[in-house]
Amino acid sequence: MDTVIKNITLIDGTGREPIPDALLVIREGKVFYAGSASGWSDAEESDILELDLHGQYVLPGLIDCHVHLSGSGEADSQFYAPAGSMALKILKNAQRNLAAGITTVRDLGGWSELEFDVRRAIQRGEFPGPRMCLAGRFISITEAGAEYYLGMYRVADGVDEVRKAVREQVKNGADVIKMGVTGAVLVEGGVPGTTHFNEDEVCALVEEANKFGKRVAAHAHGIDGIRKAVQAGINTLEHGTYLYQDPLLITHMAGHGIFLVPTLKVGWDIIHAKDSNIPLWIMDKNKATQGEAALSLKMAHEADVPIAMGSDVGTPLNFHGENALEVYWMQQAGMSAMDALVSATGNAARSLGWDSWLGTLEKGKVADLIVHEKNPLEDLRLLADKTSLQFVMKDGMIAACHTEHHLPPQLFEKNYLSI
């Protein structure tokens, strides 16, 4: 049976202008047709289910390329929970993403490998949840963060240890390898500008990951660490706070298709926080780096560095389900509304290496989509507005919707979430 979604404005995630009076046909969980209603002929079809959306907006399900399912926005960034509670916390946070229209997440620092179990349970159909691209543990040198984020870090010093740490993540099922090349903002005593791994360690990590066909995501703030990571051939640069200091390196990233994942939302959430539970060291470090992070995004975008959206949800006051506000902050830093949206759809899928089947509403891609009552391009904050969001589809089935709805029961997953 085909599902024909008609009377929609289609924003397909490629960057193409929205198509008014459009129509989307889903066959076996995939997009079979997406375009203007006049271009579709259904003469051959008999078994169809029609859904008239009365002019609402249909977009690809959003992809968040930087989340921490093991964190729930704790003010002091302390994620710890005993294993059983942590597994439930990861599942709950994963579901908050899906119910908010984030149909795919890339977790760049899990907890004691529990996220792999949660993913298996979702894949078996036992629980609803988003697609998950997982890094497993955050590979780091010996430093304070390793004790603060017990369960998230894998300490590795020296080339041999680094290679072994990569192999462990691959063994556990990692899709991508995450490394901390510089100090962190959210580690007390961590200095974001400081380089952590040496050049030989960074190169060994990238080589080992690539050997297994895995991409590398590098956490880096300081320019020296960014340079080492970019020159070693990483795929995505996370944060990239001081990237603006080296325009030539920006050109190199553009030429080599290395993505920047800027993670601006967390800094703004902390700076605007009225919550006095935010430790002073977290507040001060964010105030010191936020302007530079926004400038780096602006310069990278202007130089045609590909940009992918990553909210870093899970970090202080940065709650799962509010991820899409990152798209708004990217616009505030100088991207057009459409470019910012593409960073959370088509470009995000490219940064994961999953773009042959995910990220846009084009023929042959999986039918992961969100339906909004209002046009998110007019105000990107609508992407995180649960009154505008009507329902979420994953693989062509409704995975989340409001309690009150008039949608055909045949279109629902057996366990669906309420928005």
Q: In what order do the strands lie in the sheet with 102-107?
A: 62-67, 102-107, 131-134
**235: which residues sit within 8 A by CB, 6+ positions away?**
176, 215, 216, 217, 258, 259, 351, 353
Q: How far is the CB of 312 from Zn ion (least distance, A)?
A: 4
* Total of residues contacting Zn ion (CB under 5 A): 1
- Of the pair 270, 370, the CB lying nearest Zn ion is at 270
- Of the pair 64, 312, the CB lying nearest Zn ion is at 312
Q: What are phi and psi of 187, to 5 degrees?
A: -125, 120
Q: How far is the CB of 370 from Zn ion (least distance, A)?
A: 24
**Residue pair 61/105 in contact by the 8 Å Cβ criterion:** no
**Residue pair 328/383 in contact by the 8 Å Cβ criterion:** yes
DSSP codes joined into one string, 73-117 = --TT------HHHHHHHHHHHHHHHHHTTEEEEEESS-STTHHHH
- Of the pair 221, 301, the CB lying nearest Zn ion is at 221
- In 3D, which of 278, 284, 325 has the Cα closest to residue 78? 278
Q: How far is the CB of 226 from Zn ion (least distance, A)?
A: 16
- Of the pair 22, 174, the CB lying nearest Zn ion is at 174
Q: List the interface residues with Zn ion, window 298-327 (CB under 5 A).
A: 312
Please list the residues that pair with 189 across neighbouring strands.
none
Asked if residue 115 binds Zn ion (CB under 5 A), the reply is: no
Q: How far is the CB of 49 from Zn ion (least distance, A)?
A: 41
**Chain position whose Cβ is nearest to Zn ion:** 312
Own/partner pairs, 413-418, CB within 8 angstroms, 24+ separation: 413/128, 414/125, 415/125, 415/127, 415/128, 416/128, 417/95, 417/98, 417/99, 417/128, 418/99
Under DSSP, is residue 148 helix (H, G, I), strand (E, B) or coil? helix
Six token digits for residue 78: 């302390």
Q: How far is the CB of 31 from Zn ion (least distance, A)?
A: 31
- Of the pair 265, 365, the CB lying nearest Zn ion is at 265
Calpha distance 35→19 (Å, rounded): 7
Q: How far is the CB of 47 from Zn ion (least distance, A)?
A: 46
- Of the pair 246, 312, the CB lying nearest Zn ion is at 312
Calpha distance 304→253 (Å, rounded): 9
- Of the pair 100, 217, the CB lying nearest Zn ion is at 217
- Of the pair 130, 145, the CB lying nearest Zn ion is at 145
Calpha distance 222→242 (Å, rounded): 5
Calpha distance 51→165 (Å, rounded): 49
- Of the pair 312, 322, the CB lying nearest Zn ion is at 312
Q: How far is the CB of 405 from Zn ion (least distance, A)?
A: 35
Q: List the interface residues with Zn ion, window 166-185 (CB under 5 A).
A: none
Please list the residues that pair with 49 across neighbouring strands.
3
Q: How far is the CB of 315 from Zn ion (least distance, A)?
A: 6
Q: How far is the CB of 310 from Zn ion (least distance, A)?
A: 8
Residues at the contact surface with Zn ion, assessed by CB under 5 A: 312
